[in-house]
Structures are given as structure tokens and as C-alpha cells.
Amino acid sequence: MICILATIAMTGVFAWFVGTDMWRSFQRGYETESLVALPMGLPPLPLLAGLAVFLLDMLALLVQVASGSARIADESPDVI
């Protein structure tokens, strides 16, 4: 359970950093230096979306483990 909480905290901090960086790029009007001048906030958008989905999934896992409906295996299965 401690590992799940640590993962949620680290993912949240990373998502906050990416979101803040995107917002700062939009506010300052930065654009990419390429053939198509995109705002600098658009390239990390899929990363932020993936982090948000992962964070929601980890929160759902935390609720399942805390309520007892899901169990994290203590030992890995024997492999031949």
C-alpha cells in the first residue's frame, strides 16, 4: 500500500510539473521552430493525458486494495 501511495505522489508531482510547463508555454506564446509552428504546449499534451489516466488508475487500485476487494500478491508465482 505504501508503494501505491508513493507512486500516486510521484505521478501527481510529475503531472503538475508538465501541466505547469504547458500553461507557462501557452501564456508566453512559445512556438516550435519547425515547418509548422505549433504552440509549445501541444507536444506534451499526450504525456499529460497519459499521466492523468495512470493517476486515476492508481487511485482506483488504492481504493480496491484499501477496501480489500483486490489483493497484491506477496510472492510471485513459480515459473518452470
* pLDDT tens per residue across span 17-67: 999 999 999 999 899 888 988 898 898 999 999 999 999 999 999 999 889
CA 25, 28, 33, 36 dihedral sign is: positive
Residue carrying C-alpha cell 476487494:
69
What residue numbers bound the domain in which 42 lies?
29-67
Residue 76 resides in a domain: no
Residue 43 resides in a domain: yes
pLDDT band with cut points at 50, 70 and 90 for residue 73? low
Residue 8 resides in a domain: no
Residue 23 resides in a domain: no
Q: What is the pLDDT of residue 32?
A: 87
In total, the chain counts a number of residues equal to: 80
Q: What is the pLDDT of residue 23?
A: 94
80 vs 23 pLDDT, higher one: 23
Q: What is the pLDDT of residue 74?
A: 60
Residue 7 resides in a domain: no
Residue 3 resides in a domain: no
Residue 2 resides in a domain: no
- State how many domains the chain has: 1
